[in-house]
């Protein structure tokens, strides 16, 4: 597999609660061991964990085939989410952080940036973010729908290098291996074509909402942003050990482009500019030669009205005129940025009187023109 540092690992309900009655601690332990070994290699891990509804059913001793209303499922998720976190935490010697996301958190730019900053801070603190959809408050028409696609969104949100989908099947096959004994494993997929999508069946679990189709959809979303995906069996010790060794134990989905170029394309062409930020020569050198973030001390002037999370053009003024240097997602409203332009971090805190982001535009959210 290609080199990678930051990974999003998605674990489905069919692994965590295969019978729908209780969380299977043996499988949680296997996956926790995988995460611990990967972190020992210096990798950054974000876990997207299903199982809240199943855990809620188990806590209430409710049979998995009992039909529940939308409100009933949301109540089960609220009860089960606490059980799910309590089940994961004892397996780690690091702090676990619960993060619940909704569709709005990912589609709204300001909330997207806020969630992105939170994940960065959690990783910087050495914690393990454990993410699930906020089923307790999400309405049906705004639900992400399944944790496979949620994991792909999180991989984009976190600017991950790799998405790992752990499931109860060891790879993508040219037919359903549970039905067709001679089905052949597909080790690599260079592009998710209609022919590849046609191989997907329905959900293989009565507990989760995802099936092979949602896994292919997730891999496609990740690939479009330059993120590779691997699909493999989450209860197979050999498969998990292969992941630690950098081998492909299942199906490897190639990214459409590199992660950086996909991000660069989105920032360059996918977002309209809401304003302009002019920087001094020192900031120009830091951005161009050092790949640094843009700090307020390097801001010379601000033009336009924009809000935190908007895309802005970053320009340099010279005798030859104005030159576009970069574009990026700004972390301050225009009014606040005007107040702190040219100030250092201590002066910023005195001026705004509150805790503020360290960067005006983080290097992960910036692309040179």
Give the Cα separation of 299 and 131 in Å (integer).
Answer: 36
Kindly state the percentage of the chain with pLDDT values over 90. 53
Mind listing the domains of the chain with CATH numbers?
6-262 (3.40.1160.10), 271-368 (2.30.130.10)
Q: How many CA atoms lie within 13 A of 273 on its CB side?
A: 17
Report whether pLDDT(61) > 90.
no
Give the Cα separation of 287 and 185 in Å (integer).
Answer: 45
**217-249 pLDDT, tens digit each:** 899 888 888 899 999 999 999 999 999 999 999
pLDDT at residue 53 in the model: 82
pLDDT at residue 258 in the model: 59
For the chain, the C-alpha Rg in angstroms (whole number) is: 22
Report whether pLDDT(275) > 60.
yes
Kindly compute the dihedral angle of the four CA atoms of residues 8, 10, 11, 13, in this order, to the nearest 10 degrees: 150
Give the Cα separation of 114 and 119 in Å (integer).
Answer: 9
Report whether pLDDT(150) > 80.
yes
- Lowest-confidence region among 12-26, 135-149, 172-186: 135-149
Give 344 or 272, the one with higher predicted confidence: 344
Eight-class DSSP state of 333: -
Report field, pTM of the whole predicted structure over 0.85: no
């Amino acid at each position: 597999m290609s080199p990678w540092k930051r990974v999003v690992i998605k674990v489905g309900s069919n692994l965590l609660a295969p019978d729908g009655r209780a969380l299977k601690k043996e499988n949680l332990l296997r996956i926790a061991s995988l995460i611990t070994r990967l972190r020992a290699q210096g990798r950054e891990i974000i876990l997207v964990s299903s199982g809240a509804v199943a855990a809620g059913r188990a806590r209430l001793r409710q049979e998995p085939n009992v039909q529940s209303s939308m409100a009933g499922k949301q109540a089960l998720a609220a009860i089960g989410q606490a059980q799910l976190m309590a089940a994961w935490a004892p397996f780690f010697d690091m702090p676990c952080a619960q993060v619940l996301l909704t569709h709005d958190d990912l589609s709204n730019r300001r909330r997207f940036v806020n969630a992105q900053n939170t994940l960065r801070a959690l990783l910087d603190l050495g914690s393990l973010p454990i993410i699930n959809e906020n089923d307790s408050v999400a309405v049906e028409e705004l639900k992400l729908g399944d944790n496979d696609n949620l994991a792909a969104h999180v991989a984009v949100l976190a600017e991950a290098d790799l998405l790992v989908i752990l499931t109860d099947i060891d790879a993508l096959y040219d037919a359903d291996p549970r039905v067709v004994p001679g089905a052949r494993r597909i080790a690599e997929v260079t592009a998710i074509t209609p022919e590849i999508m046609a191989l997907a069946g329905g959900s293989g679990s009565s507990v989760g909402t995802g099936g092979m189709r949602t896994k292919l959809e997730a891999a496609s979303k990740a690939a479009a942003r330059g993120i590779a995906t691997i699909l493999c069996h989450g209860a197979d010790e050999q498969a998990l050990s292969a992941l630690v060794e950098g081998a492909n134990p299942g199906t490897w989905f190639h990214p459409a482009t590199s992660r950086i170029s996909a991000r660069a394309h989105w920032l360059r062409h996918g977002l309209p500019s809401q304003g302009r930020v002019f920087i001094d020569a020192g900031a120009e050198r830091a951005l161009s030669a050092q790949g640094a973030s843009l700090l307020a001390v390097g801001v010379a002037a601000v033009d336009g009205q924009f809000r935190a999370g908007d895309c802005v053009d970053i320009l340099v003024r010279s005798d030859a005129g104005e030159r576009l240097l970069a574009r990026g997602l700004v972390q301050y409203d225009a009014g606040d940025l005007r107040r702190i332009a040219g100030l250092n971090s201590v002066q910023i805190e005195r001026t705004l009187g509150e805790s503020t982001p360290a960067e005006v535009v983080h290097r992960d959210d910036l692309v040179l023109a």
